[in-house]
Amino acid sequence: MPSPTASHVVIFPFMAQGHTLPLLDLSKALSLQQIKVTIITTPSNAKSIAKCVPNHLDIHLHEIPFPTVDGLPKGCENTSQLPSLEFLLPFLHATKQLQKPFEEVLETMIKSNTPPLCVISDFFLGFTLASCQALGVPRLVFHGMSALSMAIIKSSWVNASQINSLSMLDPVDLPGMKLPFTLTKADLPAETLNSSNHDDPMSQFIGEVGWADVNSWGIIINSFEELEKDHISFFESFYMNGAKAWCLGPLFLCDKIEGLERSINQNQNPSMSTQWLDEQSTPDSVIYVSFGTQADVSDSRLDEVAFGLEESGVPFVWVVRSKAWSLPGGMEEKIKDRGLIVSEWVDQRQILSHRAIGGFLSHCGWNSVLESVVAGVPILAWPMIAEQSLNAKLIVDGLGAGLSVKRVQNQGSEILVSRQAISEGVKELIGGQKGRSARERAEALGRVARRAVQKDGSSHDTLSKLIDHLRAY
Ligand code: UDP
Ligand code: UDP
């Protein structure tokens, strides 16, 4: 058995912010447990990751080249660099070409004096399973979702034929699942609804990586047991070899342990958004608006958000990713003393923890949901893609820590959100009774989440158990 100081873990994140960031947090948590970590990634991702890794930790980056492929713009090594989501599938296929260089790196590591205990691979990098199996290294898979969402998705695949016969707003019954909300067909991710269409290329890809997933040694979950306990064993039942699901989250809190957070942030100047928030004197008075790094938000939707925020009269910080969009005419003058629009990367966790922030108009990406509850900030949910509707239902109906923005489905089955709906939702969240009770629920849930990562907390204990288990394997 290797000595504790010689233990080594390899992490291979998928190249999307929402997938890489939690695995960086996990790297820090492992490093604080005296584990050497090697992160495998491509050159441009390595450059941005390096900036986030404190150099006193035993975390190393190993670069492998990103392939050049037809149909993918040159230099796109991260999904947030893709011109639109249409390029996601070619991007996913391109990552398969990382298998050979990955295997070469892994082989060299196995022969070194610190062979890896395991590989922690993103779900989308399904090819790592074959390499790990060939080289005899356990593969732990990371999805970046809650256990509840994953269980719903897996169960929906199994029950696809029944679900296909339903209409969009019919409730979906998943045998064996204790759902904390009423699930409708419309809440399921598009890939899941297409799963029985074997000609759909995205479903084919998901089927492929899904097979690797269920044949993995274990699963790492960025969530905490207190939230997931009703779903874990049902979720594990989809795995073939007795794989265990390890709830280690919220992962971004793990690096708060032992003062690490302070050492990273020490030299940072206050950002523009923090300075602006410092000037807002009323606690819980500002709405933070962001739709994450993946969803394509059209110009007309952005216009509605601008009008809705203006109409609400509520102060806001709004992160807009689109480079092409500009404020509708006359709007700048109207909102200039009341809102801040930011187009660069912000420190979202820092914004959410500012006392002036009273709510989050969010797409409900899982990381954003976790970050919001940990900060005790209620959510105004506007889910857009992937499993975001499931996260929204959990936070609003299941946990009572948010409200939903009113969405209308038009005849072309497009989901529309009007400026009135945005304005009303924002006003209720920040100033209304429903918003106040959602805030109390978010604060209570945040306390549970923080306890989970502290000494003797569920996630903290599970991480120690996982390390012991791997060392003994
Ligand atoms: N919660 C949960 N599962 C648990 C414990 C808590 O889902 O096992 C959620 C639930 O939404 C609850 C909230 O966390 O309302 C706060 O829980 P609790 O009242 O125990 O937190 P405290 O107020 O003690 O910090
Ligand atoms: N994020 C950030 N600053 C930004 C935009 C995003 O810090 O300007 C972070 C955010 O805090 C979260 C992640 O990026 O940790 C986005 O992940 P999420 O699951 O919320 O959504 P996705 O981008 O995957 O849709």
pLDDT at 6 (0 to 100):
67
Which ligand gives the minimal distance to the CA of 384?
2
Tell me, using a 6 A CB cutoff, whether residue 257 lines ligand 1.
no
pLDDT at 218 (0 to 100):
98
**Which ligand 2 atom sits closest to the C-alpha of 144?**
19
pLDDT at 270 (0 to 100):
78
Per-residue pLDDT of 138-166, as tens digits, reads 999 999 999 999 999 999 999 999 999 99
Residue with CA nearest ligand 2 atom 13: 18
Give residue 364 CA to ligand 2 midpoint distance, Å: 10
Is the distance from CB of 12 to CB of 121 less than 8 angstroms?
Answer: yes
Kindly tell me the burial class for residue 46, based on how many C-beta atoms sit within 10 Å of its own C-beta (0-12, 13-18, 19 or more): middle
Compute the CA torsion angle 142, 86, 410, 155 (nearest 10 deg). Answer: -30
The answer, yes or no, to whether ipTM is higher than 0.90 is no
Which tokens sit at 237? 């039942």
Residue with CA nearest ligand 1 atom 11: 399
pLDDT at 263 (0 to 100):
36
Is the distance from CB of 128 to CB of 216 less than 8 angstroms?
Answer: no
pLDDT at 414 (0 to 100):
73
Unique residue bearing structure tokens 């969530």: 223
Which are the catalytic amino acids? Answer: 19, 122
Instruction: Give me the DSSP letters along 231-246.
Output: THHHHHTT-SS--EEE
**If you average pLDDT over residues 259-270, what whole number do you get?**
46
Residue 257 has pLDDT above 90, yes or no: no
Q: Which among 37, 250, 254, 280 has a CA at the least distance from the CA of 144? A: 250
Kindly tell me the burial class for residue 133, based on how many C-beta atoms sit within 10 Å of its own C-beta (0-12, 13-18, 19 or more): middle
Averaged confidence pLDDT in the chain: 93
Which tokens sit at 311? 């109409």
Tell me, using a 6 A CB cutoff, whether residue 399 lines ligand 1.
yes
**If you average pLDDT over residues 370-395, what whole number do you get?**
97
Q: Which residue has the higher pLDDT, 336 or 77?
A: 77
Band (pLDDT 50/70/90 cuts) for residue 266 is very low
**If you average pLDDT over residues 407-418, what whole number do you get?**
78
Residue 294 has pLDDT above 80, yes or no: yes
Q: Which residue has the higher pLDDT, 237 or 407?
A: 237
Is pTM, for the whole model, over 0.90? yes
Which ligand gives the minimal distance to the CA of 293?
2
Residue 213 has pLDDT above 70, yes or no: yes
Q: Report the SS3 class of residue 263.
A: helix
pLDDT at 404 (0 to 100):
98
pLDDT at 2 (0 to 100):
42
Kindly tell me the burial class for residue 258, based on how many C-beta atoms sit within 10 Å of its own C-beta (0-12, 13-18, 19 or more): exposed
Give residue 295 CA to ligand 2 midpoint distance, Å: 11
Cβ neighbors of 292 (< 8 A, separation 6 or more) are 18, 362, 363, 365, 368
Is the distance from CB of 119 to CB of 128 less than 8 angstroms?
Answer: yes
64-71 own/partner pairs: CB under 8 Å, 24+ apart: 64/40, 64/98, 64/101, 64/102, 64/105, 65/101, 66/42, 66/94, 66/98, 67/94, 67/97, 67/98, 69/93, 69/94, 69/97
Pocket of ligand 2 (CB under 6 A): 17-18, 21, 290, 292-294, 319, 345-349, 365-368, 371
Highest averaged pLDDT of the listed ranges 47-56, 192-201, 216-225? 216-225
**Which ligand 2 atom sits closest to the C-alpha of 366?**
19
Residue with CA nearest ligand 1 atom 4: 226
421 sits in which H/E element: helix 419-431
pLDDT at 401 (0 to 100):
98
Q: Report the SS3 class of residue 17.
A: helix
Q: Which among 95, 108, 153, 167 has a CA at the least distance from the CA of 135? A: 108
Residue 262 has pLDDT above 50, yes or no: no
pLDDT at 7 (0 to 100):
94
Cis, bond preceding 283 (omega within 30 deg of 0): no
pLDDT at 256 (0 to 100):
61
